[in-house]
Amino acid sequence: MSAAASRTTTDLPEPSLPDPDLLKVLRTMALARAVDERCMNLQRQGRLGFYVPLEGQEAAQVGCAWALQPGDWVCPAYRELAVALTRGVPLRDILNQLYGNSADLSKGRQMPNHYGFRQHRFLSASSPIGTQIIHAVGLAYASRYKGEKVVAVPFFGDGATSSNDFHSGMNFAGVYKAPVVFFCQNNQWAISLPREKQTHSSTLAIKANAYGFPGVQVDGNDFHAVYRAVKEARARAVAGEGPTLIEAVTYRMGPHSTSDDPRRYRTPQELATWKARDPIERLKSELLARGVFSEAQFESLQEELRSMVQKEVQEVEKMGPPAATSLFDDVWASLSPNLEEERKEFEELLREGVIRP
């Protein structure tokens, strides 16, 4: 039994949201876990080429995203599935991108987990570490210049705090008081490099001191703590008081990606310790202790979500790949004469079977 599960009704944390909203939070976290489990299995079966899991980081992601407004900018890394779901991105759109099929908004041009959704102000991810940090700072500075009361939130891991872009972004945001909420998910591992081997700072949050703005460390497995910290940081930012660095201390329970084997660099004992702090079990236990719902209802919810994910996957897998000629799209508003000629030649080669889509 986890520490969260052993709490009594007298020492439960003060809810940050009404119980109906917390049930929605729990559902979103459980949905992210269900998608995660299914996509990991799909990749192992050879049905997905690549996947980046987030198991263990659901409270950090949902807690942060829940505190934002629709107009705020999200600048993700490549693990922010729960953020996208909280922002209202349809699961079908996410799965289409993972498969790179004909319905994929990015037309199969991005790596899996590198999705972007303009309608939800959710930027496309980029594989190079930390680049989203300076993108967020630029967006935040431009938004303030335009008079918009919004913030930009770059999501990144502990490893990214050693990148050039982290320090460049922090310095610019501090000097110009850009409305940024820097959100670091300290999941203890930068792939196989432990946090203690990449920095000797007592915390990651303390790095904000060098740039003249607050740094806050919170329990990243506690939805309430994350939600409150981000809500306060957002209020500071839109009031013109500048950025905040939030370090959400959490843990990546699964591999860095499906190309990684964490058994080579961490112990079963370490994993067991963090599994006892599972953020979903923590929030579930709190709601059970308050009598908001029952264990049977939670089990029913899990079955419902797994069934929904399975049906979505079945529909997505019916879709074929993007049209081969789509590689000529989106270069210019209208094709240049030389591209028109190249497209005609390409179509002829497709008809002759010289090139196979």
Q: Tens digits of per-residue pLDDT, 207-252?
A: 999 999 999 999 999 999 999 999 999 999 999 999 999 999 999 9
Same-domain check for residues 332 and 218: no
Print the domain residue range for 345.
324-357
Give me the CATH number covering residue 183.
3.40.50.970
Q: What is the pLDDT of residues 255-291, one digit of tens each?
A: 999 999 999 999 999 999 999 999 999 999 999 999 9
Same-domain check for residues 350 and 250: no
CA distance 195 to 158: 7
Q: What is the model's pLDDT at position 138?
A: 98
CA distance 236 to 137: 15
- Pick the catalytic residue from 79, 135, 256, 277: 256
Report, as ranges of residue numbers, the positions in the chain whose pLDDT lies below 50: 1-10
Q: What is the model's pLDDT at position 174?
A: 98
Count how many domains the chain has.
2
Q: Is 1 a member of any domain? A: no
Same-domain check for residues 204 and 341: no
256 counts as catalytic:
yes
Same-domain check for residues 293 and 336: no
Same-domain check for residues 311 and 336: no
Same-domain check for residues 286 and 357: no
Q: Is 9 a member of any domain? A: no
CA distance 275 to 287: 19
Q: Is 93 a member of any domain? A: yes
Residue type for position 12: L
265 counts as catalytic:
yes
Same-domain check for residues 284 and 214: yes
CA distance 128 to 218: 26
Same-domain check for residues 245 and 349: no
Q: Is 250 a member of any domain? A: yes
Beta strand pairing call for 152-157 and 73-75: parallel
In sequence order, the 6+-apart residues with CB closer than 8 A to the CB of 172 are 134, 137, 141, 178
CA distance 327 to 346: 10
- Pick the catalytic residue from 87, 144, 236, 252: 252
**Kind and range of the H or E run holding 248:** strand 244-249
Helix axis angle for 279-289 and 223-238, nearest 10°, is 100
Q: How many residues does the chain have?
A: 357
As a whole-number percent, the residues of the chain with pLDDT over 90 amount to: 92
Within 10 Å of residue 244's Cβ, how many Cβ atoms?
26
What's the Cα-to-Cα distance from 328 to each of 82, 182, 266, 325, 344, rounded to whole Å? 33, 37, 46, 6, 11
Q: Is 229 a member of any domain? A: yes
Residue spans of beta strands (DSSP E) within 67-135: 73-75
Same-domain check for residues 274 and 332: no
92 counts as catalytic:
no
Q: Is 6 a member of any domain? A: no
**Which ranges of the chain would DSSP assign to H, the alpha helix?**
19-44, 58-66, 81-86, 91-99, 131-145, 164-176, 223-238, 268-275, 279-289, 295-316, 337-352
Q: What is the model's pLDDT at position 3?
A: 34
Same-domain check for residues 216 and 268: yes
Same-domain check for residues 141 and 192: yes
Q: Is 339 a member of any domain? A: yes
Q: Is 5 a member of any domain? A: no
The answer to whether 233 touches 264, Cβ cutoff 8 Å, is no
The answer to whether 82 touches 65, Cβ cutoff 8 Å, is yes
Structure tokens at 82: 């729960």
CA distance 114 to 112: 5
Same-domain check for residues 350 and 206: no
